[in-house]
Every structure is written in C-alpha cells, then in structure tokens.
Structure 1
C-alpha cells in the first residue's frame, strides 16, 4: 500500500482540480457537482484549502452558450490579470442529447480575485467550431501558451490535444497544432479521449500530462515531452509515452485517477493534483457521480522524467473534515 503524507482526499466532491501557487498563497478551483458555478478557495498553506471557505465568483447563465454543464475551470495569473478558463454548454434539449461545450474566459484586474469584479471575455475562438474544453495556460520560451482538448470531426475519437500561442489571455494567434490524439488501447477504453492537459518544466524538458479513456476506472494519465529549446509548434518535436503514467490502483481502492494539475508544497516540492474515486459501482453516467475527490501526492524525477507512482489509499487517520 502506497503511503501519502497528505490528507487523502484533500477535498471531497471536487473534480478536475486546479491549484495555483502565487506569492506564498494557494488558490483552488474545480468542477462542482452541480456544474452550475465557479468558486475559488484561498489559503496560506496547501492543506488549509480543505477548510477554506469557497467564494462564488460567477454563476451560469439562465440560457445561452454558458447556461449548462460548467466544467473544468482553471485559475491563472497572466501578465498581472487573473484569468479563469472554463468550458460551458448551451441549454440542453432532449432533441440534441450531445455535449456541445465551448471554451470561455473570465478576467479580473483587481489584486484580490475573491473580492474583485470578474468580467466575461466571451468564447475563446479556435479554427474548428466543435466540442472543446479543458483549457490551460503556461509560460514557455518567454511566451504565453494555450493548451486544450477538442473534437475534430475528421478524426475518429472524442478529443485530441491542441496547442497555440496566446495573443491575449482570451484569444490565440497563429494556427494551432495537434500534439496528441487517442491511439493506444489505454487511451480508448469506453471513449477515445485525450483531455485535461497540464504543463510542467523540469530540467531541459517541458512536459504535458493528460488524461485518457472514459471517466470511470479506465481513466488514466499519459505523458508528452519536448526539449525545452525545441519549437513546441512542430508536432514532430514531441515524444509520447506508449504506456500510461498514472492508473487505477485496485489494491488501494483508487479508481480513475486523472484530470491533473501541478503545484508545489511549502518547501518547493513538486506535487501532483488529481481526482479519483474510491469505488467502481457507479449508477448512471459517471460524469454525474459526485465522488471524484480532489487528491494530492508528491512525485519524483528519475532520468529526467516524472515518476508519479501509484495513487495512495484513502487516509482517514486524521480527523479533519475535508467535505465541502
């Protein structure tokens, strides 16, 4: 059984977790089970996020393109402005019955993102008008980059990973490139999916982790990497692991770990942030099961590559309340 010194779960019923560390402060944002709002938590310690009061900064519209299924928000600080990326769908009807998500952005220029005013920046337009979600941002080679998942109607499968440089925090410039598509068996269980990308730099390489397959116990993480000096807009410069790098642990009763982000501890240690369930008996659509809990664990680097290990078991030895 893998041990974990962090509370596990850290926060219950929060999927697609994202933790941002800025100026000795940790900020947390994630999908809520109702998929109806965006809320931020803040704490002066990483584990303090569990007890921090969530502050709702935006709610879904009653109709229109931002009125349903608010998914996978991320909070970023880009050139002095707070940005939230998220995916939303238009009001559903029995007639369509399909996910029609697009990507959107909010911006806040106040110093405090919990009390400042957030303005809607609209849909982030990309060349293909199709199902798109899970946008993230990172800085590399002195540029701001936008990385996301999207369905290409001409490519079999549900979603691929795309990269573009940002012109502004809510608009891309140039032509995006596809970094990865589902091709291995472990990426195509239930659904053919590459989604939830997250970037981290280590040594002479830039890494992109991502999640694959259906959001049940088949969900797992893959990995891409590139030499830090290489052009990230040339797909051939990227390498892809042929095997998953973080998967279900039946021994530890941790199922479907994924949709990760990265943060650091108080001592600067690299940490993996992810969600997973502790059971497999899901009634109905896994997307509507609320018990994908936020979890964190340390990981190591070996021969220049991240080693994420095995999802540690739930740890209830501490009696802190982590349910929100």
Structure 2
C-alpha cells in the first residue's frame, strides 16, 4: 500500500505546484489592460470598445477563471457612445471611480469621462455617470489615469495640442476632486526620440503620427516616474518610455520631468513578443513584489487590434532606485504567481 500512497502524494504535490505557476497571456485578448489590488482582490479592466467590463479575482495570474460582468453600457448615440477605450478603475477618497475615453464614432471627438460607485465592492452598487473630465482647453484626450501625491490628486493623459491629429503628447493637471480638473493642462512629454516616433499611416492626408500615450504613475523612494507608451500601437516598435521627477518638485512644471532617451521596455524578436505597451503596475498581495501588466502581440505585424493580449511579469529596481523592466518574456516561460 505504500507505493500507491506515495504516488497519490506526488500527484497532490504536482497539482499544488501547478497552482503556484502560470504562463502568459492572462487572457487570449485584451488591449490596454489595467488592474488594482485592494482588500484581498485584484480588479481588472481592458478595452472592450462598446462597454465597460470588470473582473474580480484573488489571483491575477488566473484571470481567465475570474468572474466578470458588464458594469456600464453607453447610450446608443451621443458624445460618449462609441469607441470606449482604456478604462481604469481607481479607489479615491473612499469611493470607486472608472475613467475611460469615448467619442460619438468620430475619433477627433475623443474625450475622457468618469463614473463613480460608493459601494465597498465595485462589482456591486451603482455606477453613476459623473460626466466629462477635461481642462478648460477641452482638446482631444485619451488614456486618462489619476494618482494621489502629497494629498493632492493629479490626472495624466495623452492629448493633442490643437484640433488635428499628427502628434500625441503627455499632459498633467491638478484635480479639485476625482472627476474635476482644476486649472490648465501642462504638457510634460512630446515624442521626439527616434524610438518614439514610429507611426507611418499610409494616409496621404495624414502620413505620420508621433505618439506618446498610456501614461502610468509609479513611485519608489524619493522619485516619481511616469511610464508611457511611445510610437504608434499599430507598429511593432510600440514600446515603453520613462519620465522621472523628484517627489518634492512641482509636478505641474515641465522642467521637473526628465525623459530617458531610450525605451525601457520594447519588442523582443528572440522571445516572440512584439509591440509591448500600454501598461499598468501592481504589487503582490504581500506587497514585496513589483509587477508590470502590459499588452503585446505574438507575431510581427499583428497591429493595434484584438490580437493584443494581457501579460504580467515581475520587475526590479537598480541601486539608484530606478525601475528595471528587462525584456518581455516568451509565452512559454513558466512563472511563479504573485506571492501572497
């Protein structure tokens, strides 16, 4: 009887080990992924295009098994009825907020909007539409993200300087509350390095677009970072760049922000990962591991559509307190789940 018992125990151990490891991607598809960890759960969203969908899970590595639901459906027509992009869920000032970009079907009218939910569990309660989130210039805007620093709220996003496409810059503005921008926007990044200016369209009226988008806030030690996506998402050159500022600097002063000249996370042909970008960050449940969540393609030329899938991997910090992301990992790589 000893041998069957040993085999059974070995099978149990293998099964247990299987629950401690995973492989990317988290889902077969899911562009512009975002997640937040709060009170023992990860809440996850990505671009669905025609609605806002929310996932809830104790283990982000097994997102495919997590319950999810539609928490908001847009009206049939109007300024925020179509092209719903890059949703993010945040917990601010004791309530939940979802930020997203939308238009009426015409990209030039893309703007950012907010929903509010006072329920402790964002899968429950009522999501109340709070309206457009814009500064007084009210220009084209997407990829809004909000963070709190020294007790103040700030929004960062990607926008046009004028009313025509051709270049997307990164802007920041102070907020009066989680759904109201206070004062004018300030431009803190514009694409000008070679790595962030890949964006040929093949359109005779709009031959090229230089892109900075998807800004995400990250803090470590006494430095603040904004990690953003550079070059156009329809190119394999889509990659992540880095802005940094001292924690005590004036975040609304463009001079406070310094940009790295090279991409900090980019395609890896050897690992068969292309166009990695539009990221967010989270920590493991025990708070000791730092993880990046991003989307990427499996093949060159897959473009800026539904083939993009969400992936996660750990990153570290160098001796100067700057993030080190390494290379995007091959989907054959077996990874340990975030440590609880």
* 1:293 counterpart = 2:309: yes
Q: Is the 8 A contact 2:108 2:163 kept in 1?
A: no
Return closer, same or farther for 1:255/1:183 CA change in 2, 3 Å cut-off. same
Q: CA deviation at 1:154?
A: 7.9
| Whole-angstrom CA distance in 1 between matches of 2:38 and 2:69 | 18
- 2:250 is the counterpart of 1:250: no
In 2: Cα distance, 1:154 partner to 1:64 partner: 20
Report the CA distance between 1:91 and its aligned residue: 3.2
Aligned to 2:260: 241
Q: How does 1:91-170 map to 2 (within 5 A)?
A: 91-92=105-106, 98-153=107-162, 157-170=166-179
| Alpha-carbon distance, 1:40 to partner | 0.6
Partner of residue 172 from structure 1, selected from 158, 181, 189:
181
Q: Which of 216, 232, 236 in structure 2 is aligned with 1:214? A: 232
Within 1, Cα distance between the matches of 2:251 and 2:70?
36
Match of 1:78 among 79, 92, 100: 92
Give me the whole-angstrom Cα distance separating, in 2, the residues matched to 1:104 and 1:6: 35
C-alpha change, 1:11 and 1:29, in structure 2 (3 Å) is: same
Runs (5+) with no aligned partner, structure 2: 1-20, 200-208, 336-340
RCO higher in structure (CA 8 A, sep ≥6): 1
The reply to whether residue 63 of structure 1 matches residue 77 of structure 2 is: yes
8 Å CA contact retained: 1:6, 1:297: no
Matches within 5 A, 1:39-50: 39-50=53-64
TM-score (norm 2): 0.85
2:195 is paired with a residue whose SS is helix
Shift of 1:156: 8.2
1:129 shift after superposition:
2.8
TM-score by length of 1: 0.89
Alpha-carbon distance in structure 1 between the residues aligned to 2:301 and 2:256: 41
Task: Note if contact 2:293-2:311 (Cα within 8 Å) is conserved in structure 1.
Answer: yes
CA contact (8 A) 1:264 1:271 kept: yes
Aligned residue pair count: 303
Partner deviation per Cα, 1:205-248 (whole Å, 9 max, x = no partner) = 00100001111311000000111111111111111101100000
Name which of 294, 304, 308 aligns with 1:274. 294
Secondary structure of 1:16's counterpart equals coil
Structure possessing the higher radius of gyration over alpha carbons: 2
Alignment RMSD: 1.7
